[in-house]
Amino acid sequence: MSILVIAEHDNVQLKGATHNVVAAATKIGGDIHVLVAGANARAVADHAAKLAGVSKVLLAESPTLADGLAENVAEQVLALAPGYSHILFAATASGKNVAPRVAARLDVAQISEIQAVDSADTFQRAIYAGNAVATVQSTDATKVITVRTTGFDAVAESGSGTVEAVPAAAGAGLSTFVSREVAKSDRPELAGAKVVVSGGRGMGSAENFKILDPLADKLGAALGASRAAVDAGYAPNDWQVGQTGKIVAPQLYVAIGISGAIQHLAGMKDSKVIVAVNKDAEAPIFGVADYGLVADLFQAVPELVTTL
Amino acid sequence: MKVLVPVKRVVDYNVKVRVKSDQSGVDIANVKMSMNPFDEIAVEEATRLKEKGVVTEVIAVSCGVAQCQETLRTAMAIGADRGILVQTDAELQPLAVAKLLKVLAEKEQPQLMILGKQAIDDDANQTGQMLAALLGWSQATFASKIELLDGIARVTREVDGGLETIDLKLPAIVTTDLRLNEPRYVTLPNIMKAKKKQLDTVTPEELGVDVAPRLKTLKVCEPAGRSAGVKVPDVAALVDKLKNEAKVV
């Protein structure tokens, strides 16, 4: 049994999510190869070869693969697919974009966002915004899977795999990359942060959101937000934690002024310790919080900063 | 230009579902059903493109049980011109739905299909991408902006860390993200008008598609519950707990 893991990267750096996907591959068991599809991505491939459990990294380089366009990356994966029993992607924006395209072309079902591996063909995944966990068995010859990264601990960088260049597939010529706007941040990446401080509608304004900065600085935390806060324009879209945003499972999740709607809880209820600060003692967030503080956040947050 | 918009009937997003005690699935008898929120955004976007004059006809499609007619009527009350129901009582997984939609796309020849990015019941996030693959069309998932230009669709996508814009050769598949638009409320006169719009029904057999599920659901369980937490009286007590009890700071 051989497993192909599709690396998540930006041609410069290997993203942390790949470490978790390799961990899931290790649980399935078998020879693990990593595909780095990109342009000038040699450094990414070298990094991927260090992941524990990876025996070989396949490096496909072409200008058509530079921007991760789904049509082109899918062609690259399909060119290699016949040699593998499992093809694994991270359940990130890019993984979710490409994986179903590969699955449909192989005429197999795709298994989305697995959070546990029961056996080589049986997996657990959340449905209904995390309100139920389904155990599913695939009857297909090739298993195309996206991996919820928070379900698997990242592998160490202690391996010594080899890097092998493979021919790049021809571009599909169906789409063209135009531009990218990356939100600048000095803070840890939300999906991989050990501590997350999130604000909700209770913050009141984008201006008020800034009172979370010193708290996040003190805790070395990434900043997150509820959908209500994002929709109200208090925080950028990519901060959104929830069913339709990012799924996080940090050591500590601090929810400030967040009521705790089902869709938000779906994105954070696997956090180790949850702290909620809300002035409404009846807010559903207190149902999942390990430590709840009923207080006005505008007093509690600055006080937290000075006390910590 | 013709636009096809697939819509799904799902448990309303405000309902907290319960797992059946025999672990065979989720209890959806007698719970409120609605159109999948991402699909509402898709219908709204197609309707807006029609109102701008760049689209001539919007066709809503749904696959599933007879009650999906209600979902199609809602789509038509928002602005779809007609509806097609692929009626079946069988369990439909994304690959099967993509195959059904492919046949309809070949028949109707739309230049654009707008789907929701995911359904809030199975949370799969697959159908749009699979459909694009089967048709050999371009795709843009998680769209927060769609512009139709000469022969291309320019789509801004929500990706991890920000936004990216790509140009798609038409015909194309686009899947909607939450911030693409704010769907309108359907008004009573429009609901009445929608009742008169054309709604055709076909079956998977008529379309020649095998919809047999590929994934077998062995069981469905409640997620592991969290042990009850405590309320602390003040900030000092909170910090003390975090430092000495939870040891996370």
> In sequence order, which residues have a C-beta less than 8 Å from that of residue A96 and are 6 or more positions away?
A89, A112, A146, B125, B129, B141
Q: Which of A244, A293, A304 to mutate to test the interface with B (most CBs of B within 10 A)?
A: A244
Q: Name which of A139, A173, A262 is nearest B214 (Cβ-Cβ).
A: A139
Min distance A66 CA to chain B CA atoms (Å): 13
Q: How far apart are CA B181 and CA B189, in angstroms?
A: 23
Query: Which residues from chain A sit within 8 angstroms of residue B223, using beta carbons?
Result: 126, 130-133, 269
> Band of the pLDDT at B249, cuts 50, 70, 90?
confident
Exposure string over A156-188, b if 16+ CB within 10 A, otherwise e: eeebebebeebebbebbebbbeeeeeeeeeeeb
**Binding site listing of A:** 201, 226-227, 240-244, 257-264, 278
From residue B43, how far is each of A114, A210, B7, B12, B18 by CA, in Å? Answer: 30, 36, 8, 17, 29
Question: What's the pLDDT score for residue B193?
Answer: 97
What ipTM goes with this model? 0.94
Mean pLDDT across chain B? 96
The rounded distance, in Å, linking the Cα atoms of A43 and A25 is 22
Cβ-Cβ contacts under 8 Å, B217 against chain A:
134-136
**Per-residue DSSP letter, B246:** S
Residues 6+ apart with CB under 8 A from B215: A109, A111, A136, A137, A138, A139, B93
Q: Do B158 and A219 touch (CB under 8 A)?
A: no
Nearest CA in chain A to B122: A127
Burial category of B74 from C-beta neighbours within 10 Å (exposed 0-12, middle 13-18, buried 19 and up): buried
User: B52, exposed or middle or buried, with CB in 10 Å at 0-12, 13-18, 19+?
Assistant: exposed
Separation of alpha carbons B214 and A99, rounded Å: 16
| Mutation choice for B interface testing from A97, A114, A234, A254 by most B CBs within 10 A | A97
For chain B positions 48-77, those within 8 Å of chain A (CB to CB) are none
Residue from the list A110, A132, A191 with its beta carbon closest to the beta carbon of B222: A132
CA angle A143, A101, B209 (to 5 degrees): 85
Task: Indicate the annotated binding residues of A for FAD.
Answer: 201, 226-227, 240-244, 257-264, 278
Interface of B with A in 86-125 (CB under 8 A): 93-95, 98, 117-118, 120-125
Residues in B touching A128 (Cβ below 8 Å): 11, 17, 26, 120-121, 123
Per DSSP, the three-state class of A218 is helix
DSSP at B161: T
Exposed, middle or buried, B206 (CB in 10 Å: 0-12/13-18/19+)? exposed
- When pLDDT is averaged across residues B91-95 and rounded to a whole number, the result is 97
Cis ω before A214 (30° cut-off from 0): no
Task: Tell me what the mean pLDDT of segment B13-38 comes to.
Answer: 95
Of B123, B57, B95, B73, give the one whose Cα is nearest residue B204. B95
CATH numbers and ranges of domains, chain A:
2-165 (3.40.50.620), 190-307 (3.40.50.1220)
Task: Please give the pLDDT value at position B25.
Answer: 95
Residue B187's contacts (CB-CB under 8 Å, 6 or more residues apart) are B77
B247 — pLDDT class (breaks 50, 70, 90): confident
Q: Is the pTM of this model over 0.90?
A: yes
Share of chain B above pLDDT 70, in %: 100
Give A265's contacts (C-beta < 8 A, 6+ positions apart).
Answer: A129, A130, A242, A284, A285, A288
Chain B residues touching A216 at Cβ < 8 A = none
Q: Tell me, what amino acid is at A143? A: K
Cα B235 from Cα A295, distance rounded (Å): 9
Contact residues, B window 162-181, toward A, CB-based 8 Å cutoff: 162-169, 177-179
Kindly list the residues from chain A whose CB atom is less than 8 angstroms away from the CB atom of residue B11. 128
Question: Which two three-digit tokens encode residue B219?
Answer: 């069981």
pLDDT of B94:
98
Q: In the prediction, which pLDDT does A32 show?
A: 98
pLDDT above 90 covers a percentage of chain B that reads 92
Rg (CA), chain B: 21
- Closest residue in chain B to residue A252, using alpha carbons only: B248
Local confidence band at B241 (pLDDT 50, 70, 90 cut-offs): very high
> What is the average per-residue pLDDT within B21-35?
95
* CA B71 – CA B60 distance, rounded (Å): 9
pLDDT digits (tens, 9 = 90+) for B29-72: 999 999 999 999 999 999 999 999 999 999 999 999 999 999 99
Gap between the Cα atoms of B129 and A98, Å rounded: 7
Q: CB distance B164–A112 less than 8 Å?
A: no
Nearest to B223 among A133, A231, A274 (CB): A133
Q: Do A243 and B133 touch (CB under 8 A)?
A: no
The alpha carbon of A196 is separated from its chain's Cα centroid by a whole number of angstroms, namely 14
Per-residue pLDDT reduced to its tens digit, B113-162? 999 999 999 999 999 999 999 999 999 999 999 999 999 999 999 998 88
A52: distance to nearest CA of chain B, Å? 25
pLDDT of residue B87 exceeding 90, the answer is: yes
Q: What is the sign of the dihedral through the CA atoms of B169, B171, B177 and B178?
A: positive
Joined together, the tokens standing for residue B62 give 């749904």
Per-residue pLDDT of chain A (308 residues), as tens digits, is 899 999 999 999 999 999 999 999 999 999 999 999 999 999 999 999 999 999 999 999 999 999 999 999 999 999 999 999 999 999 999 999 999 999 999 999 999 999 999 999 999 999 999 999 999 999 999 999 999 999 999 999 999 999 999 999 999 999 999 999 987 778 898 988 999 999 999 999 999 999 999 999 999 999 999 999 999 999 998 899 999 899 999 999 999 999 999 999 999 999 999 999 999 999 999 999 999 999 999 999 999 999 99
Does the beta-carbon distance from B129 to A70 stay under 8 Å? yes
In this complex, the residue of B16, B117, B133 whose CB is nearest that of residue A104 is B133
